[in-house]
Amino acid sequence: MDRSSLVTQTQTILRTDPFNDNYRVVGKELGRGKFAVVKKCVELLTGKEYAAKFLRKRRKGEDCRNDILNEIAVLEMARFSPYVVDLHEVYETNSEIILVMEYAAGGEIFNQCVADQDEAFTEKDVIRLIRQILQGVLYLHRNNFVHLDLKPQNILLTSSNPLGDIRIVDFGLSRQVDNVKEVREILGTPEYVAPEVLSYEPISTATDMWSVGVLTYVMLTGVSPFLGDNKQETFLNISQVAIEYPQEEFEGISELAIDFIKSLLIKNPRKRARADQCLKHAWLTSCQEPESPKDKTLEPKESQVESPETTEKIVLLASY
Ligand code: ADP
Ligand code: MG
141-156 pLDDT, tens digit each: 999 999 999 999 999 9
Q: Which atom of ligand 1 is nearest to the CA of 36?
A: 3
Say how many C-beta atoms besides its own lie within 10 A of residue 82's C-beta.
13
Q: Which of 118, 125, 149, 165 is catalytic?
A: 149
Q: In whole angstroms, what is the distance from residue 65 CA to residue 3 CA?
A: 10
CB-CB contact of 308 with 110 (8 Å): yes
Q: How far apart are CA 294 and CA 252, in angstroms?
A: 5
Ligand closest to Cα of 167 equals 1
Other C-beta atoms lying within 10 Å of the C-beta of residue 57: 18
CB of residue 139 inside a 6 A radius of ligand 1: no
Any ligand 1 atom below 6 A from CB of 30: yes
pLDDT band for position 14 (50/70/90)? very high
pLDDT of residue 313 exceeding 50, the answer is no
Amino acid (one-letter) located at 166? I
231 marked as part of a ligand binding site: no
169 Cα nearest atom in ligand 1: 6
Check residue 229 and give its pLDDT: 95
pLDDT per position as a tens digit, 296-310: 444 444 445 554 433
Of 288 and 30, the structure prediction assigns the larger pLDDT to 30
Average per-residue pLDDT for the chain: 88
86 has catalytic annotation? no
For the Cβ of 172 lying below 6 angstroms from any atom of ligand 1, the answer is yes
SS3 165: coil
Cα 130 to ligand 2 centroid, rounded to whole Å: 18
pLDDT at 199 over 70: yes
ipTM for the complex shown: 0.99
> Which ligand is in closest contact with the Cα of 39?
1
pTM of the model: 0.89
Residue 101 Cα: closest atom of ligand 1: 23
* pLDDT above 50 (res 134): yes
By DSSP bridging, strand 107-108 and strand 155-157 are antiparallel
Say yes or no: CB of residue 84 within 6 Å of ligand 1.
no
